[in-house]
Amino acid sequence: MMGLVVRNEGNTVTDRHFNVAVVGAGPAGIYASDILSKSELDVSIDLFERLPAPYGLVRYGVAPDHPRIKAIINALYNILQRGDIQLHGNVNIGTDVTLSELHDYYDAVILATGADQDAALDIPGIDLPASYGAADFVSWYDGHPDYPRTWPLEAKEVAVIGVGNVALDVARILAKHPDDLMETEIPANVVEGLRSSNVTDVHVFGRRGPAQVKFTPMELRELGHVPDVDIVVDPEDFQYDEASEEAVQQSKMTKQVVEQLTNWVFQEPEDLTASHRIHIHMMQQPVEVLGTDKVEGIRMERTELQGDGSVKGTGEFIDYPVQAVYRAVGYASSPVPGAPFDAKRHVVPNVGGRVERDGKTVDGLYATGWIKRGPIGLIGSTKSDAQETISNLVEDANAGLLAPTGPGTGADGMFDLLEKRGVRYTSWRGWELLEAYEMQLGQAEGRERIKVVERETMTAISRGEEHNGKLY
């Protein structure tokens, strides 16, 4: 475990070279690296990622048919391809190298590991077979190398709990016909799984009203253009209070969301002819997943708004016959071995990105992104987060507070250590090789790209090694 160094009040002005390690190559880690590279410090930056591929949840947490993926990845690509930030993939902090060992070689370590787990939903029956976390399902259909290659899709009727964009992605992928995904980078095993799906009806549930849902207007508009999928909204699920009216007046995005939901309310029944349906239910909260040996239904309680946008239960219950439940109530971060962790908030304790243990700052250890503040906010929040953390790191460097606990040789010493341990780490050049390979796979089928899913294959392609009798 990294030792605790109590801050001092030294006034040392640093003009020396610094080595900084960033853990996590998603948007948070890449933006922090970019901002640090443009700071006043003379610094070398090594970006460590536990997967062979970069980009984190942009690659493995957004539905493949989402149009914003390409724009975000292009922005991240443009940062990494400059060459002043060194990417090192397939390195797991805690097993391949410890956090303490990182600090032996680097003046500072920035944790940017994000949030990769589903937040809990504590209701009876939530652990029944066929009750899933949405993050696990997203990882499956996005071809995450550490998840199974198959997914059970026997259910005909499905409940999705949550009214954020992840819930909408899950509902759309479940309801969408696989042929309509074939222009995307969706992996072959996922297409095969979706072709066997029995889903016809997806029920999306939210506790509050149309002015409080977390869908973005773009996501909602896209939903209305999915071929052979009807969107059904019950007028009884619409409710407004003073806070709702205020939200609509003050936010253009909220107004657009409410208008789109309202349009679906007033559809004519004879126009709903699709073979698949997504039902958006509001003003209902889950109280129990029904079933004995597996999911057989879900019990919801109607809610009512209280004037301030909050809700309370009415005591009226509705049972929906569903055979699977997906909870999309948020993400949660996992602990980083060797770092302090707030298990209740699922973050690394910090003040302004400076990590704390037992109320005292751990010099040289920082956090940014969702591991710093929790899984809220989009790209803009991630950038401002990184700016705060890096500003504090630079301030600490100028105060003489940053120093390695060991030889401090940066990448040279670290990669000597990884080589001795037989860690098959990958590089930015390796990612370019893997990306080119995925594009070749796609071109063979008239698509832009097809993801490689299996970790060993990803690693072999990135390193130019032999795997399963094939030399990449």
Q: What is the pLDDT of residues 313-365, one digit of tens each?
A: 999 999 999 999 999 999 999 999 999 999 999 999 999 999 999 999 999 99
111 and 223 together in one domain: no
Same-domain status, 361 and 315: no
Domain end marker among 331, 354, 372: 331
The total domain count for the chain is 2
Two tokens, residue 318: 């509705």
Confidence at residue 377, expressed as pLDDT on a 0 to 100 scale = 73
Residues 114 and 346: their CA atoms lie apart, in Å, by 10
Strands (DSSP E) found in 297-338 = 297-305, 311-320, 324-327, 331-332
Domain of 73?
17-115+334-423
CATH number of the domain that residue 341 is part of: 3.40.50.720
Is 444 part of a structural domain of the chain?
no
Q: What is the CATH number of the domain that holds 187?
A: 3.50.50.60
Of 456, 433, 378, residue with least CA distance to 27: 378
Q: pTM above 0.85?
A: yes
User: Does 186 fall in a domain?
Assistant: yes
Percent helix, strand, coil in the chain, to 5, is 35, 20, 45
Calpha distance 379→401 (Å, rounded): 30
- Whether 130 and 106 share a structural domain: no
**Same domain? 261 vs 194:** yes
pLDDT greater than 60 at residue 13: no
For residues 69 and 90, membership in a common domain is answered with yes
Element (H, E) at 456: helix 455-463
**Share of residues in the chain with pLDDT > 70 (%):** 97
Give the span between the Cα atoms of 211 and 196, in whole angstroms.
Answer: 36
Q: Is the pLDDT of residue 62 over 70?
A: yes
Does residue 270 share a domain with residue 128? yes
Q: How far apart are CA 40 and CA 104, in angstroms?
A: 23
**CA 386 to each of CA 35, 74, 108: distance values in angstroms, whole numbers, following the listed order:** 7, 19, 15
What is the tens place of the pLDDT at every residue in 373-400? 999 877 778 999 999 999 999 999 999 9
Cα atoms in the 13 Å half-sphere on the side-chain side of 400: 6
Residue 312 lies in a domain: yes
Whether residue 414 sits in one domain with residue 371: yes
What does the alpha-carbon distance between residue 325 and residue 463 come to, in Å, rounded to a whole number?
40
Q: Are residues 288 and 157 in the same domain?
A: yes
Q: Are residues 96 and 143 in the same domain?
A: no
- CA 9 → CA 12, 109, 399, distances in Å? 9, 21, 7
Domain final position from 277, 300, 331: 331
Residue 26 placed within a domain = yes
228 Cβ partners below 8 Å, 6+ apart?
A: 177, 274, 275, 276
Classify residue 438: in a domain, yes or no: no
Q: Is residue 435 in some structural domain?
A: no
Quick check: 396 and 33 in contact, CB under 8 A? no
Instruction: Round to the nearest angstrom and report the end-to-end CA distance of the chain.
Output: 38
β pairing state of 85-89 and 426-427: antiparallel
H-assigned helices in 211-357: 217-223, 242-250, 252-265
360 and 275 in a single domain? The answer is no
Whether residues 111 and 187 share a domain: the answer is no
Residue 464 domain-assigned (yes or no): no
Q: Is pLDDT at 1 greater than 60 in this prediction?
A: no
Residue 439 lies in a domain: no
Q: Does residue 6 have a pLDDT over 80? A: no
Q: Is the dihedral of CA 251, 257, 260, 264 positive or negative?
A: negative
Last residue in a domain, options 316, 331, 346:
331
Kindly state whether residues 237 and 304 are assigned to the same domain.
yes
pLDDT of residue 32: 98
